Amino acid sequence: MKITAVILAAGQGTRMNSDLPKVLHPVCGVPMIAHSLAAVKTASSETPVVIIGHGAEAVREFLGERARCVVQDPQLGTGHAVQQAESTLRGKTDLVLVVYADMPLLRPETIKGLVETQKANKGPLTMLTVSAADPRGFGRVVRGTGGSVQAIVEEAAATEEQLSIHELNVGAYCFSADWLWDALHKIKVSPRTPSPVLEPGLSRGNRDYAAGTGTTTQKGEYYLTDTVALAVQAGLTVQALVSDDPVETIGINTRVHLAEAEVAMRQRINRAHMLAGVTIVDPASTYIEPGIKIGRDTVIWPNTYLRGKTVIGEGCVIGPNTIAEDTTVGDCCEILAAVMEGAVVEDNVGIGPFARLRKGAHLCKGVHVGNFGEIKDSTLGSGTKMGHFSYIGNATIGNNVNIGAGTVTCNYDGVHKNPTEIGEDVFIGSDTMLVAPVKIGARSRTGAGAVVTKDVEPDTLVVGVPARPIKKLNEAKND
């Protein structure tokens, strides 16, 4: 069976008060539309169709090859939006899954449940609902004696009995494709009393107004909820899947809603890591983006930010006050108050406090980097120790090297970044300036304050400004 998701992303989002299209606003570092794509991925079999409008080119550029984009212009409501996918999908899919791009908290398992419910439904559609004590002005779902949906009634038109209903329309649907396309052409436009201003709330249901009336707002728009009325009037079964998590049905219309969704997403992510064996000392002050991998028995201290494609191994202690972005950390590392961007850190490494690893930094097994050290585009070999207040850039450093406090690789000549090579078992004295390009041979030493402008042979001690060799270290041992 072919199942295709249609994601509605054409709205302007005026209440966001932003030049950025609403669906590109990030939730936990990921544009909200990307969360929608992830939610429908496991439930659908075909490339999703995204209905775009406001900020269409920016949205299209972000989506790339992950979706087929169809422009809705003019924007005449949600029913009209779904209708734009007809020419792309008619005759090419069995089920159409419809979700909003500004509901980033919908879970993949919920979407999959919606699809599975429709597969077992003899009727043309299944809708997602939620049970909530506070309806916040959203449409009530009225069920018949057999449990099927009979109508969606907006709050302004509800009777006292209907107002006591706690089941609300979320705004996610799964349709039989052949029935859907014909039904969309039957939705009528007629003036009606506008809905009251809605309190920020759980779902998108009443933004579409009531299904069951065959009418829309005075703007002359077509609303997807009217398909429920069409099915009921034809004597067809409308099923509803009730979400057990009101939080996942939060829709975003303002930056206040965006912050609410951010908190909810962080709680979900952190909870999943803790259940998988990670200790998060203070989840409220810990920021972990989707897709981050953390090994068992790792401890995350407060004010830690894990972003991008970061991977943390087992048995680590991260933070407090650590930022890692697109960084891989091995097992049994201790990283305190450090900033890491595009770095690779192998096992048993200690970093910080107040160290910075920039893109291309690679710390091999057992390396230690002290406070206020900075590394960029450089590899530090196993067992190397880098003292505090040092900068290492464009360098390749061997195993078991000691880099004294205040060491600087002077790698930029105003035009090019030049390399520094340091062999194994080298001792770099404090405040050494290594003027690249330069090579320091294995087992050599530099005196404190040396300015090295020429290559140093292995087993050689150099001192001074500029540094000059004063003895061969193996000869000194023989003496």
Taking Cα atoms as reference points, which of 46, 14, 13 lies closest to residue 32? 13
The model's pLDDT over 317-356, given as tens digits with 9 standing for 90+, comes to: 999 999 999 999 999 999 999 999 999 999 999 999 999 9
% pLDDT > 70, the chain? 92
Q: How far apart are CA 26 and CA 388, in angstroms?
A: 36
Q: What is the pLDDT of residues 156-212, one digit of tens each?
A: 888 888 889 999 998 899 999 999 999 999 998 744 434 333 333 333 344 432 222
Per CATH, the number for 3-249 is 3.90.550.10
Residue 355 burial (C-beta neighbours within 10 Å; 0-12, 13-18, 19+): buried
Which CATH code, of 2.160.10.10, 3.30.70.100, 3.10.20.30, 3.40.1110.10, is assigned to 273-478?
2.160.10.10
Domain with CATH 3.90.550.10 in the chain: 3-249
336 Rama sector, left if φ>0, alpha if ψ -120 to 50, beta otherwise: beta
Please give the order of strands across the beta sheet that includes 339-341.
287-288, 305-307, 323-325, 339-341, 356-357, 374-376, 391-393, 408-410, 433-435, 451-452
Return the residue matching tokens 């009730």.
Answer: 242
Rounded to 5°, the CA angle 395-397-401 comes to 140
Strand 402-403 relative to strand 427-428, pairing: parallel
The SS3 of residue 341 is strand
Asked if 391 and 374 count as a contact pair (C-beta separation under 8 A), the reply is yes
Q: Which tens digits make up the pLDDT trace of 370-424?
A: 999 999 999 999 999 998 999 999 999 999 999 999 999 999 999 999 999 999 9
Higher pLDDT residue, 144 or 359? 359
Q: Which residues are catalytic?
A: 388
Residues 199, 310: Cα–Cα separation, whole Å: 38
User: Which H, E and C letters describe 74-132, residue by residue?
Assistant: CCCCHHHHHHCCHHHHCCCCCEEEEEECCCCCCCHHHHHHHHHHHHCCCCCEEEEEEEC
pLDDT in tens, 234-259: 999 999 999 988 899 888 999 999 99
Domain span(s) for CATH 2.160.10.10 in the chain: 273-478
